[in-house]
Amino acid sequence: MNAGAGLPILKKSELFERLAQGRAAGVTIVTPNKRLSQALMLEFDAFQSGKALSVWEAPDILPFGAFVQRLYEDGL
């Protein structure tokens, strides 16, 4: 079984463009661990810096545990 069956595949640059639209765009990335979340944050920062931006909204990139905690807190 293909893990991505029926789901669109985005290039990282396309994903970062969507993240750059801010939280209003409703894009959240959930990773399996904190280390990957931090690595993607650094890559996103480099992507934004490469566009000659000096400030930008932090992307919504969370490790799975933090995502579950957010869901719990939102449900209260």
Model confidence pLDDT, tens digit, residues 46-73: 999 999 999 999 999 999 999 999 999 9
d(CA 72, CA 65): 11
DSSP H helices, the chain, are 12-20, 34-49, 64-75
Contact 60, 23 (CB under 8 A): yes
Q: In the prediction, which pLDDT does 61 show?
A: 98
Q: What is the pLDDT of residues 4-35, one digit of tens each?
A: 678 888 899 999 999 999 989 999 999 999 99
Q: Which two tokens stand for residue 7?
A: 């789901």
pLDDT of 1 over the 60 cut: no
